[in-house]
Structure 1
Amino acid sequence: MRDTVRFGVNYTPTRGWFHHWLDFDLAEVRADLDSIAGLGLDHVRVFPLWPLFQPNRALVRPRAVEQLVALADAAGERGLDVVVDGLQGHLSSFDFLPSWTRTWHRRSLFADPDVVAGQEEYLRTLAGALADRPHFLGMTVGNEVNQFADRPHPDPDRVTPEQAQAWLERMLAACAAGAPGRAHVHAEDDAVWYRDDHPFTGAQAARLGAASVVHAWVFNGTAQRYGPAGAATELHAAYLVELAKAYAVEPGRPVWLQEVGAPAPLIPPERAAAFAEATLGHVLDCRDVWGVTWWCSHDVARELADFPELEYGLGLLTNDRRVKPGGAAVARVAAAVRAAGPGPGPAVRTTAVVADVGGAARGTRRSVCAPGGPVLETWTRLTAEGVRPAIVLSDLATDPAHLSSRGITELVPAGR
């Protein structure tokens, strides 16, 4: 870990989107990575498509793994560290699951012993292929795989929180077996923080893996409720960083803002730069932030069909690799942080909003933290008053050692 916050981007290839693995062209990848490096960023998160890399439970394609290593090496040559997501999983409204888990071979992604063993071998293989690369930071188990376990997915594989935790522990162990000593994490969408009774929990997010990972999207009702320039909209990513910290039991546990973006029309294109600068400014006022990885590097090509409209324009660069205003804004913030160098970090947040989520282990009342809920409303109001609030779970609000470890001296009930 470094004292200086890191800035990177989720790599979306300009030619063919993630389908580029079917027609892998290293020259095109290098051109994409050149345009990313030109923004002054320091890492990329990359996405092999699981069905293409492991089309059969007993086959992880060697050629696909070689192409992943070639992409990672090309990134390293440009000064970009690499994080690899394993189980894709779900990307930009599309599901990518191998045929040996669906239809005639329908088996639980989280509980079937053969499927889980196949996933372990896949993650071990990818991590092991990159284990000797100094620019390989680690694996992310998958991208928002929790979506497959609950509504609103149309065909979920239901699990209990205990089963979800056991699955996460096995997947993280598989990553560590392939690449010991690297920073392996798991990443879910905001259902872990906001949805009552969701089987993947905030406690798992904040206590398993090398860092707590946050995906902060304002199309979840935040921008709809508070507007594109509303305080809660521009504070949403920082709020989720603080909410992740509330669930942590390890003092100073790093938080990685792994996805954040400016989805149009909820954030109009003419406001993308202002949104980026405001969002990042608030996040940089949080302690223990490891880094920010913007979604995404390049726009999705318009000739590709059936994406939700907001997915086409999320890039920091256009599909022909021109820097957009939002990209220039992220580059400016990254350059300013890099120029400032390591420092003491933001001041401790001594006031905390108390969140009763129905117990950290199960989160039966997590919706109190969602947009419109009393925790976010109180936290936003206090921020507007200049208080700089943290969040503490009611489970831990009576633990003097926990409060002391975080420097919290004043508690404010949610809704007050």
Structure 2
Amino acid sequence: MPLASPSATPSGAPRFGANYTPGQGWFHHWLDFDLDAVRADLDAVAALGLDHVRVFPIWPYFQPNRTLIRPRAVEQLVQLADAAAERGLDVNVDGLQGHLSSFDFLPAWTQTWHRRNLFTDPDVVAGQAAYLRTLAAALADRPNFIGMTIGNEINQFSAGPHPDPDRITEEQAETWLRTVLAACEEGAPGKLHLHAEYDAAWYQPDQPFTPGQAARLGAVTAVHSWVFNGTAQRHGRTGTATRAHAAYLIELSKAWALDPHRPVWLQEVGAPAPLIPAEHAAAFTEETIEAALDCQDVWGVTWWCSHDVSRALADFPELEYSLGLLTNDGRVKPAGAAVARIAKEWRGRTYAPAPRTTAVVVDDAMERRVECAPGGAVFEAFARLTQDGVRPAAVLASRVADAEHLAARGITEVVTPEEVR
């Protein structure tokens, strides 16, 4: 049976799930939807002992015209959610992908002859809101529906290195986020609705989507941890910074949160080859999750991804073919076995990590975000302290003198990156 309260962690423990990548046809399976194939995939996910999946109704497949949200596609999404419920799996629904595994997924009514800004054009935003509201409403009465994620790292469309970005300001990004989050709430009141950016929001100075937005808007903070961002290249497979990258992002997000105990969802994390070779994927998986769960207030860990991409599909970057916990025909891989062991070990276990008493100071200025990126002063100070066994947190420079905030987080010592060096 599905969990009674999808928004809560089971028995006080963090939740464990997978980003559902269908074994047959990848996300193009929506074009030839086969419920029996979906059921087989979900059987394999449930057999790992996971409790939820994040699913991806591909935006242009579901809303090919601004005023056409295909009823049959919405029905199929509900069928998928019901199939998950039958297997004890809760469901988070990703609305506006934008981008997945090197491919952009935008409807034709936003492109070329109909080119309009994704974040500021009134008609586009109204269409997005209608779509998100429709999906949320279709699932609102399902007990296993966790809530909506606005999109998959859609912030990449707002700045470089995207080849054709829709430039916006920080204020416009926040207005857009508030609008689309409100649409989800209108469709499914009281569910766990959130937004998710890739790490440029934390690291890239000219990103209009900001750490403050990530850590303050929506029901939880989502972080996506990928060590191919320069971390593994700089520190190697076994480097402390590589193994603790997810934990670092969790703690960095907590520096920006207004609520000292705001939940953080490690919503995407994976073991990318060749930086993490296949023979080391299980060890990396275990080390990454162990480090993440040494942070407080973790809502859950959702691994990328459930199934490998089939080699029958062309033009994916090489690493995308091997990220699954399962092969595309459902066989458990070493990383999948590792996640299954961890999920079993945590079932019924008390989740109460000790406070992190030493915090690295993070500059509030958006143009200083590069200091938080791999190679930056904050990033390297955090890694050095972790290597020395310190269990660091992070705190904004503007809050160093806020005794109430520090006490709420259990911080008793504050150090600058320069002091760590």
Out of 368, 371, 374, the position equivalent to 1:368 is: 371
Residue 412 of structure 1 pairs with residue 421 of structure 2:
no
Q: Which runs of 5+ in 1 are unaligned?
A: none
Deviation at 1:164, TM superposition (A): 0.1
The one-letter amino acid of 1:378's match is A
Aligned to 2:195: 186
Out of 283, 300, 313, the position equivalent to 1:291 is 300
Partner of residue 52 from structure 2, selected from 43, 53, 65: 43
Give, as a single letter, the amino acid of the residue that structure 1 aligns with 2:42.
Answer: L
For residues 178-212 of structure 1, what are the alpha-carbon distances to aligned partners after superposition, in whole Å with 9 as ceiling and x for unaligned?
00000000000000110012100000000000000
1:169 is aligned to 2:178 = yes
Q: Does 1:323 align with 2:323?
A: no
Paired residue secondary structure (1:251)? coil
Aligned-residue CA RMSD (Å): 0.8
Deviations 1:64-101 (A, max 9, x none): 00000000100010000000000021000100000000
Q: Unaligned regions of 5+ residues in structure 2, if any?
A: 1-7
8 Å CA contact 1:81, 1:136 repeated in 2: yes
The separation in 2 between residues aligned to 1:220 and 1:387, in whole angstroms, is 24
In structure 1, distance between residues paired with 2:279 and 2:418: 34
Q: C-alpha separation between the residues in 2 aligned to 1:252 and 1:357?
A: 20
Alignment match of 1:218 (pick from 223, 227, 236) = 227
Say if 2:407 is the partner of 1:400: no
Deviations 1:27-73 (A, max 9, x none): 00000000000000000000001001001100100000000000010
**Correspondence 1:384-399 to 2 at 5 A:** 384-399=387-402
Look up the match of 2:141: 132
Q: Describe the SS at the equivalent of 1:259.
A: strand
Q: Structure 1-normalised TM-score?
A: 0.98
Q: Retained in 1: the 8 A contact 2:159–2:206?
A: no
Equivalent residue for 1:64? 73
Deviation at 1:415, TM superposition (A): 2.9
Match of 2:3 in 1: none
Specify the SS of the correspondent of 1:153: coil
Structure 2 CA distance for aligned equivalents of residues 197 and 221 of structure 1: 18
> Secondary structure in 2 aligned to 1:185?
coil
With normalisation by structure 2, the TM-score equals 0.96
Q: Secondary structure at the match of 1:383?
A: helix
Paired amino acid for 1:369: C
Q: Please identify, of 331-340 and 202-211, the stretch whose mean Cα deviation from structure 2 is larger.
A: 331-340
SS in structure 2 at match of 1:139: strand
Equivalences for 1:11-410 in 2 at 5 Å?
11-340=20-349, 342-343=350-351, 345-358=352-365, 363-410=366-413
CA distance in structure 1 between the aligned counterparts of 2:79 and 2:395, rounded to whole angstroms: 44
Q: CA deviation at 1:364?
A: 1.3
Q: Percent identity?
A: 70
What do residues 155-187 of structure 1 show as CA deviations (whole Å, max 9, x unaligned)? 000000000000000000000000000000000
Q: Determine helix, strand or coil for the equivalent of 2:76.
A: helix
Indicate the SS of the match to 1:244.
helix
* Matches of 2:143 and 2:62, distance apart in 1: 23
Cα separation, 2, equivalents of 1:408 and 1:136: 36
